[in-house]
Amino acid sequence: MIKFWITNARYNALPQSMLPAIVAIAYALPAAGFSWGYALMALLGTAMAHLSLNLFDDYFDYRSKGTAIREKLSAGSIRVRLGKCHYLTSGKATLKQLLSVAVLFGVIALLLGFFIFLKRGNVILYIVLITMLTGLSYSAPPLKLSYIGLGELTIAMVFGPLLMSGVHYAASGLLSAEIWFISVSVGLLVANIVYTHAIMDYEHDKCARKMTFAVLLHNRTAMLAVSALFMLMACLVIVAGAFTGFLSWWYLLTIITLPVSATLFYQLAVFVKHPEKEFRPRWWMQPMEHWQQIEAAGIGWFMGRWFLSRNLAVWFCFILIIISLIIKY
C-alpha cells in the first residue's frame, strides 16, 4: 500500500525537490552550527511535502473533471497525455482515500518541521508555513494559482528560495545571501519542468479553462520564447552572482548545461510544430526510468521531454553540489 501511494504521488519527480535541498545542505556544511540530524530531517520533510502536494494536485485536478476532458480531446485526435489519476479512474482508490494520504504526507512534513522549529526557532516556522500555504494554493481553492497563470511563479518560489533557504537554515541556523542567488536559478529550472509540462498540455488546459502561463500566452512562438528565457535566466542569475562577488567564479561552470537547454528547446519546438512526431531519447539524455513501459503506454512523446527538462535541473544541481563541496573545503 505504501508503494502504491508513493508511486501515485509521482516519486520520479522527487529529484526536483531533493536535489535543491541537497544543494542547500552542501552549501551549509562548513557552518559552525551545522547539524546532520536537522539537515536530514529537513530533507525527509521536503520529500514528504513534495509527495503530499503532488497528491493534492491530483485531488483538485480530478475534482475539476480534468481527466474527462483529456479523454474527450484524445477521442478527437488531439494529442494529450492520458493516464493522469489512473488510480482513481480505474477504481483502485477513491477520492476520499487520496485526500487522506495527501493529508498524512503533509502532516509528517509538518511534524518534521516542528522538531526543527524547536531547535532553530521562528525563522523555520515562518518558512514552513509560507511554503505550505503557497504550495497548496498552486491547485487548491480559493486561489488556484496554476489556473490563473501563476503556477510557474509559484513553483519557482517554492522549490527555489523557500525550499533552499529553509533547508539551509534548518541545517546551519544561518540565512545566506549566496543561497538566494543559487536558489533563484534552481527555482527557474524547476519551474521550467512545470512549464514544459504546460506546453505539452496546452490543448487540455485550454479546454479545461486552466489558465496556465502557456494558455495565457496563447501564442506558440511566445511559449517557446518563455521556455528559452527560463533556461537562459537560470544561467544569467549565476553570472550576476559571480560578477557582484556574492558567488565564486567557479559557479560559472553551470553554463555547461546550456547545450542541454538548447536540446530541450529544440524538442519543444518540434512538438509545437509537429506534435505527431515521436520523441527518440539519446544515451546522454538519461536517466529516463521505465522507458519501455512508457513507450508501450504511448506517452513517450510527453515523458521524454518531461524527463529532459527534469534532468536539466538535476545536472545543474549536481554541478552546484560539486562546486559547493570543493570551494568550501
pLDDT digits (tens, 9 = 90+) for 151-170: 899 999 999 999 999 999 99
pLDDT at residue 96, rounded to an integer: 92
pLDDT digits (tens, 9 = 90+) for 231-275: 999 999 999 999 999 999 999 999 999 999 999 999 999 999 888
Chain-wide mean pLDDT for the chain?
89
**Cell 493522469 -> residue:** 84
pLDDT at residue 154, rounded to an integer: 94
- Residues of the chain with confidence (pLDDT) below 70: 65-84, 328-329
Q: Using CA atoms, how far apart are residues 294 and 267, in angstroms rounded to an integer? A: 18
Q: Are the C-beta atoms of residues 215 and 195 closer than 8 Å to each other?
A: no
pLDDT at residue 146, rounded to an integer: 85
Among candidates 313, 178, 159, 323, which has minimal Cα distance to 242? 178
What's the grid cell of residue 124? Answer: 523555520
What's the grid cell of residue 15? Answer: 529529484
Q: Using CA atoms, how far apart are residues 20 and 314, in angstroms rounded to an integer? A: 9
pLDDT at residue 75, rounded to an integer: 42
Rounded to 10 degrees, the C-alpha dihedral 277/279/282/283 comes to -150
**Cell 542547500 -> residue:** 24
Q: Are the C-beta atoms of residues 265 and 192 closer than 8 Å to each other?
A: no
pLDDT at residue 77, rounded to an integer: 40
